[in-house]
Amino acid sequence: MERQSPLFSAFIHVCALLLAAVILAPIAWLFVMSISPAADLAAKPLHWWPQTMDFSRYAMLLSTAENSAGAAFTASLVNSIEVAGMATIAGLALAIPSAWAVSRTPSVSWSLYMVIATYMLPPVALAVPLYMGLAHLGMLNNVIGLALVYLTILAPFTTWLMKSGFDSIPREIEAAAMMDGAGLFATLRIITLPLAAPVMATSALFAFLLAWDEFFYALLFTSDQRAKTLTVAIADLAGGRVSDYGLIAAAGVLAALPPVVIGLFMQRALISGLTSGGVKG
């Protein structure tokens, strides 16, 4: 290693502090807003830390009393979990067999590239027919309908991730199991899928995050508490006549919590998914 001059070392530390501040300041401010009484947020000069911490907005948002702000928020929270959960499970169920097939049969891989190329399509290019189709099926403002639409985003992505996962599992293991008399499906169940478990977990987490984050289709295809997701609920709050900015901030904190926790946890999942290759030597 190059020996560092004290000046260079000081420069690196200052830059690191600056980067940490850039990353943390907006997030910290979101949290501070969520616990600051409205008077502190409207004060001039602005109070950067509340005189008394006020967690009442969280209680309000998570209360399920009828017709409260909380009822709408918790309904959208449940909808988000349902839509993202259903879309993730369906996306993986579709991805696993096709990813394995493409990984083991390169002659059909062009079909996967076609599926991946759909990533380039802007959602607006599909929105009108999807809207008309869902309306025709009576599935507008419906969590199942929205989850189905989310497959346009999730399925290509999970298939691609799963395919690279299967590629890292040597086919020799599968061949050995088959030689020992195991059928195709027994081989997949006993050998391949357990080895692919880390990649499956990573794909599921990514898929869930993508669905949790989705806004455009949810904005178009949902209209009330029966199907509105969190992203739409927050955009409503931010764009509406809510005068308490702390309430908007608290809703943002709650919506950000699951993906932030997953993100911090996924750093490990990602690395383990990459390093747990299965066969050694």
Partner 1 sequence: MSGTWMTTRAWLLMLPLLAVMVAVIGWPLIDTIGLSFTDAKLVGTSGSFVGVDNYVKMVSSTNFQRTLWTTAQFAVVSVAAEMVIGVLAALLLNQQFRGRTVLRALMILPWALPTVVNATLWRLIYNPEYGALNAALMQLGLMDAYRSWLGEPGTAMIALIVADCWKNFPLVALIALAALQSVPRDIVAASLVDGAGPLNRFRFVTLPYLAGPLMVALVLRTIEAFKVFDIIWVMTRGGPANSTRSLSILVYQEAFSFQRAGSGASLALMITLLVMLLAAAYAGIVRKTAGSAA
Query: Is there binding between residue 200 and partner 1 (CB under 8 A)?
Result: no
Considering the complex, state which of residue 48 and residue 65 has its C-beta at the smaller distance from partner 1: 48
| Footprint on residues 47-106 left by partner 1 (CB under 8 A) | 93-95, 97-98, 100-102, 104-105
Single residue of 84, 87, 130, 200 touching partner 1 by CB under 8 A: 130
In the window 216-275, what residues touch partner 1 (CB under 8 A)?
Answer: 216, 219-220, 230-231, 234-235, 237-239, 245, 248-249, 252, 255-256, 259-260, 262-264, 266-267
- Judged by CB under 8 A, does residue 156 bind partner 1? yes
Cα separation of 227 and 80, whole Å? 8
Which residue shows structure tokens 């020799």?
172
Q: How far is the CB of 130 from partner 1 (least distance, A)?
A: 5
3-state secondary structure of 50: coil
Span near partner 1 by CB under 8 A; candidates 50-58, 119-127, 164-172, 195-203: 119-127
* Among 61-69, 81-89, 112-120, 194-202, the segment contacting partner 1 (CB under 8 A): 112-120
Quick check: 7 binds partner 1 (CB under 8 A)? no
Binding partner 1 by CB under 8 A: which of 64, 118, 223, 272? 118
**Is 180 strand, coil or helix?**
coil
Distances (CA, A) of 19 to 24, 25, 56, 231, 269: 9, 10, 32, 28, 25
| The only residue of 5, 6, 7, 44 in contact with partner 1, by rule CB under 8 A | 44
Q: Does 128 bind partner 1 (CB under 8 A)?
A: yes
Neighbours of 105 (CB within 10 A): 9
- The stretch among 55-63, 65-73, 116-124, 163-171 that binds partner 1 (CB under 8 A) is 116-124
Query: According to the binding rule CB under 8 A, does residue 193 interact with partner 1?
Result: no
For residues 6 and 93, give the distance between their C-alpha atoms in angstroms, rounded to a whole number.
Answer: 55
Does residue 191 touch partner 1 according to CB under 8 A? no
Site string for partner 1, 9-38 (x = CB under 8 A): x--xx-xx--xx-xxx-xx-xx--x-----
Cα dihedral 19, 21, 23, 24 in deg (nearest 10): 150
122 lines the binding site for partner 1 (CB under 8 A): yes
User: Minimum Å distance from CB 281 to partner 1?
Assistant: 22
d(CA 280, CA 124): 47
DSSP state of 123: T
Task: For residues 40 and 244, give the distance between their C-alpha atoms in angstroms, rounded to a whole number.
Answer: 11
Task: Report DSSP letters for 188-256, one per residue.
Answer: IIIIIHHHTHHHHHHHHHHHHHHHHH--HHHHHH--STTT--HHHHHHHHHHTT---HHHHHHHHHHHH
